[in-house]
Structure 1
Amino acid sequence: MLTFNDVNGGRVELTFEDNHLGMEARHVLVVLKYNGKWLLTQHSIRGIEFPGGKAEEGESIEQAAIRETMEETGVTITDLVKIAEYVVHSDSTFCKAVFTGKVMQIDEQPMLHETEGAIWLTSDELNRCAELSFHMKGTGMEIIRERAEEHES
């Protein structure tokens, strides 16, 4: 397990083992690479980030990952693999499951929620991106990206 502080000073515990943090994940993050490019989205306030969000009532975290990716990017994903979990300790502590998967379909004119749609960046473009969300700047994100690359579609 890795422990570090995020850019906002919150203590983060990151693990690559399932259910190792003692807290159920109800938030999701989808980190996937397709044809050599990362799937990201432009959040209107936070900036460029991987798609994700919260599971709705009665929804599994896998269903949430698929729904959030579709709503934020117009991309339908399948073959989900949970690659990590992390807990952020703050005023409202939460646990997030990190998934990767395969791209099944790309809707060129999606009905979007909270974002401006899919953005596809190479690793170099992502590393140089000046508009990244604070979520993308944590110590663990590089390791999570490395794990996701092992499953590139």
Structure 2
Amino acid sequence: MLEFMDFEERKVTLEFKETESAGHVLAICRMDGKYLLTDHKVRGVEFSGGKVEPEETLEEAVNREVFEETGASIGALKYVGYYTVHDAKPFTKAVYFADIKDVFFKCDYLETLGPVLLESIDEVPDEKRSILLEDDCIRYLYDMSLDDAFFAK
């Protein structure tokens, strides 16, 4: 287990084992060697993710969230682990690496402005950068994704 502190000074633990109890998902997506992110209307550019709906599996949730926020369909999906943010009400996110098969234009991306395709998250301008891209745990997971051996194939 790894430990981090987030931007609100909360402890975050990252574990590389299975979970079925995560209430949220996070997807680090790549397409043709580039990263596919989304532009959240409030927070800015970040990785796709969100809440798991009742009766939905984690895999169904990650596929739905990526499609809702970017219009992308996932080709290959690899479960990485999960992280827990230890707050008054702790919450857990299951993390996936996803290879994107296709991106479709949508008229509405719900709470986002749609897909953003970049070589690196370091290309995101400061004024468009979600605070979540600065999170040490998410940055650690992104750094893992740079190694193709860890990415979905």
TM range (shorter): 0.7 to 0.9
CA distance in 2, matches of 1:47, 1:92: 25
% identity of equivalent residues: 33
The TM-score with structure 1 as length reference comes to 0.88
Q: Check if 1:44 corresponds to 2:10.
A: no
RMSD of equivalent CA atoms: 1.8
Could you tell me how far 1:110 is from its partner in structure 2? 4.8
Letter of the aligned partner of 1:18 in structure 2? E
> Could you say what secondary structure the match of 2:137 adopts?
helix
CA distance in 2, matches of 1:105, 1:128: 22
Letter of the aligned partner of 2:60 in structure 1? Q
> Where does structure 1 differ by over 4 angstroms across 4 or more consecutive aligned residues?
none
Gaps of 5+ in 1: none
Could you tell me how far 1:143 is from its partner in structure 2? 2.3
Could you tell me how far 1:78 is from its partner in structure 2? 3.0
Q: Following superposition of structure 1 onto structure 2, how do residues 60-99 of structure 1 map, counting pairs within 5 Å?
A: 60-99=57-96
Please tell me whether the aligned partners of residues 74 and 111 of structure 1 are also in contact (alpha carbons under 8 angstroms).
no
2:6 counterpart residue number = 6
Could you tell me how far 1:128 is from its partner in structure 2? 4.3
1:25 counterpart residue number = 22
> Could you say what secondary structure the match of 2:129 adopts?
coil
Could you tell me how far 1:142 is from its partner in structure 2? 2.7
Gaps of 5+ in 2: none
> Could you say what secondary structure the match of 1:7 adopts?
coil
Could you tell me how far 1:44 is from its partner in structure 2? 0.9
The TM-score with structure 2 as length reference comes to 0.88
Deviation sequence 1:120-152 (CA, Å, 0-9, x none): 1111xx214212212221112232113334226
